[in-house]
Amino acid sequence: MSFVFKELTLKNWRCYEGTITINFPDISQGRNLIVVNGINGFGKTSLLKSLKFLFHGTSKDEILEAWNDVAKSHGDKSVTVSMTFTHNKSLCKIIREVEFKERGNTALPSESLTLIVDGVERDQAEDKISQWLPKDVQQFVFFDGAEISRYAKKQHDQGVKDAIERVLGIPAIRNLRTDLSRLLDNLEEDQETLVGLEGKSATLIAHINELEALEENYREEKETHLEQKSGIEETLSDLEKEATKIEVIEAERKALLDKKARQSDLQSDLDETEKHISEHIRHAPLYLLLPKLRELESELNAKVKIPASHEKWERLEIVYSDLIENGEKCLCGRELDDKSERHLQEELSKVRSTLEKLKSTSGKGGKKEMTNKLLSVSQIINLYGENQNSASEILRKRSSLNIRLEEIENDISDLNTKLEGHELVEVQELFRQKADLRNRLEELQESLGVLKENMQKTVDNLRDKRRELDQLTIDNAQGHRLVQELNLVRSSQAAVDGLLNQAIEERRNQIEKLSSEVYISITNKPEEYSGVRVKEDYTLEVIRRDGTSVDNTKLSSGEKEVLAYSFITALNRSSITPVPFVMDTPFGHLDSTHREKLLKNLPSLNVQVFLLATDRDLPANERDKIDDFLAGEFEIKRDQAAARSYIEEIV
Amino acid sequence: MIKFAEQDRFFISEDLMGLADKLVEEKTFETRVDFLLYAAAYAIRNDLSPAIDFKRHDLGMRASSLPSNLKISFEIIIPKYCEDKSISIPSDPKGLMNTVCCLGVEGARKLSDIWKSMSRSQKLNHILNVEKGNIEK
């Protein structure tokens, strides 16, 4: 570990009155977490601010604000923050002290900074500290967890970009390149002096100057082209995203048309079914009358069978009449006496009376009418009795059609809402813009190709001319030495150029790889996302499994925090001088799943990690889970009567 | 058998005109006479007696407009129904028309109570279920 904090001392710093000293425990392999518990208002942020002050100072107003009120009232006129730490195996101590001198009614702060390395006080403490921990880098190591998501911005300003490159050690290579250029310029000036500005050498020098100017023009033009290209590519990428959305919208528009056609079919079906229902309703009385009709059918059936008995009476009439009118003998052969004849006459009267009655109710005309009625009733029963069940079919069909129509109406309504504000004209305009940009991009690429060729020609030409000049210079020993130096610097510069590009690319790839690993290990959507892309300006994008990127504005606050955390930890792990991590309220927007995964990830950082946590950041059950990685634990307490905070180690 | 006279016209009670119009307007029935005849059949099915003493409103439709099966059914059933209920059996076409319409008014009054809070769809379901015998009233 590059930096390890050992001891922090605060004197009259904000809410900490008097002098308090915190000795941080030794950290061993795998135990790098130091938790400082404290409820809101007790002094966690004051601790964070003390570190920022210690390394980089602060404004006059802020230092006046940082002067503890009680100390001020007691006339104690100094504020001190000091830290003992090891840096690359040296024992170091930084002491930043402010003395307040009274001038009239105001107190004027006078700040001093002391740096002691291995017991020896060093000069230029500010510069030395800045080399170890540049001020711009501070934001990546001492930060408020609740504001961490700001690192997931769509654009970084130049300061952030520079700070990131500083963490990665890139400025050192850039500085080397600048130094080499400066050296080369000096050597070339010496060469010009040596060869003199006359004759062939003067022409050559003039030519070289022209070629250098031309090369510079080409370089600038190339930069402009590359910037334009990058802008167009970004716009195209945005348009591609928009086009993807529009493709979805177009699919939805087609789905809407299909749904509308289906709705029309279903409505026709429903109208047809309603017609059937109306028809059924028109005949509803008949269905209601069916039981009565069935009763009547039974009765009529019974009545229509009467003719059999009817014939019996007719036959009796004939028999009795024959006996009375023609026969003098009985059926049994005996002769009829008067009494028997009178009896027969009486019976005949009865039979005739019955027959009369029968004829009056069911004579030949009544029988015909009853038969007709029976036929009609049977026909109606046959016709409507069979259809009776179709009502339930129709009802079922209507109900099912209504449900399907309702579903399809909902779908149509949803689709209409989605399609609101997406006019067909927009789509055409978008594709036109895309085509225009592609054309422009092609033109730029072509132009860049030409530029590259011209540049190469110019560079080759320059090299030849310089060789020629070198030949003129090499005439004497001084010239010979100068040319050797020139060649050495030129080749070094070319090597540094290559190294710079390679270093930037390697560092970015490394951060991208580490960020992706951390992000995937923490995100709640590891199956949806494949990692993080770190762009040229170090802005971040979450990448889906299908290779498309997620718009950062669409990420939730928790997701942004995870993205930023992934980047910051990757940056810290890639840093040439890793610095302890201090997070105030570390889990601002994170849910319990994210929090648990992030806690598991913290021990993998090869630096001390200070968590300034409230009980909400680190509930007891989650605190227990990090027990194996805990190097030490402190609690900020407050003596409210004395209005002072103090820190105790939890043993 | 007493038959309907083709020129005789159906009537309903004045108090039911609003309901009849509403049912036609919401397309539960195609005509007010369809409603009246359904109500008459409903009265027979539920063994109701014909309504009496109401102010008649001529529905303007003649017996000739009735579907023949429905016409025959009423012509056959009404005398028997009256005989079974011991009420005056129609002796001429006007009497038959009178009985059918008075039964219709009585049935319609019962249905008016049952249908008062029903939507069209619910009324249709009720009609189709009553005829199947699933609902008695």
Res B77: pLDDT: 94
CB-closest option in A284, A293, A384 to B38? A284
Q: How far is A400 from chain B (nearest CA, A)?
A: 14
A388 contacts B131? CB cut-off 8 A: yes
3-state SS assignment for residue A480: helix
Q: What residues contact A88, with CB distance under 8 A and at least 6 apart?
A: A2
Cα(A263)–Cα(B59) distance, integer angstroms? 39
Which regions of chain A are under pLDDT 70?
Answer: 1, 29, 146, 149-160, 197, 305-311, 326-336, 357-366, 386-390, 423-426
Cα(A122)–Cα(A55) distance, integer angstroms? 15
CB-closest option in B34, B76, B133 to A296? B76
Res A238: pLDDT: 80
Contact, A466 vs A458, CB < 8 A? no
Q: Tokens 């006459």 — which residue?
A: A345
Residue B65 lies in a domain: yes
Q: Which domain holds residue B15?
A: 9-132
Q: Which two tokens stand for residue A12?
A: 């009259």
CA gyration radius for chain B? 14
Contact, A265 vs A346, CB < 8 A? no
Cα(A106)–Cα(A100) distance, integer angstroms? 9
Q: Which residue of A has its CA nearest to B132?
A: A388
Q: How far is B53 from chain A (nearest CA, A)?
A: 24
Residue B101 lies in a domain: yes
Nearest to A34 by CA among A527, A605, A488, A548: A605
How many DSSP H helices and E strands does chain A contain?
Answer: 17, 15
Residue B2 lies in a domain: no
Residue B137 lies in a domain: no
Residue B125 lies in a domain: yes
Nearest to A523 by CA among A603, A594, A605: A594
Residues of chain B contacting residue A384, judged by C-beta atoms under 8 Å apart: 69
Cα(A473)–Cα(A465) distance, integer angstroms? 12
Question: What mean pLDDT is predicted for residues B56-64?
Answer: 92
Q: Which residue of B has its CA nearest to A295?
A: B77
Q: How far is B49 from chain A (nearest CA, A)?
A: 15
Nearest to A8 by CA among A66, A104, A95: A95
Report which secondary-structure segment, H or E, holds A186: helix A170-195
Phi, psi of A274 (to 5 degrees): -60, -35
Cα(A26)–Cα(A243) distance, integer angstroms? 56
Res A140: pLDDT: 80
Cα(A471)–Cα(A464) distance, integer angstroms? 10
Number of domains in chain B: 1
pLDDT, one tens digit per residue, over B68-84 is 889 999 999 999 999 99
CB-closest option in A281, A376, A391 to B132? A391
3-state SS assignment for residue A593: helix
Res A306: pLDDT: 53
Cα(A396)–Cα(A390) distance, integer angstroms? 10
Residue B71 lies in a domain: yes
Res A11: pLDDT: 95
* Residue A270 forms contact with B (CB below 8 Å): no
Res A118: pLDDT: 94
Res A153: pLDDT: 65
Residue B3 lies in a domain: no
CB-closest option in B27, B73, B127 to A289? B73
Q: What is the DSSP string of A497-565?
A: HHHHHHHHHHHHHHHHHHHHHHHHHH-S-TTTEEEEEE-TTS-EEEEETTSPEEPGGGS-HHHHHHHHH
Residue B115 lies in a domain: yes
pLDDT, one tens digit per residue, over A90-112 is 999 999 999 998 887 788 899 99
Res A329: pLDDT: 58
Q: What is the DSSP letter of A98?
A: E
Which amino acid type is present at position A203? T
Res A309: pLDDT: 58
* Residue A629 forms contact with B (CB below 8 Å): no
**If you average pLDDT over every residue of chain B, what do you get?**
90
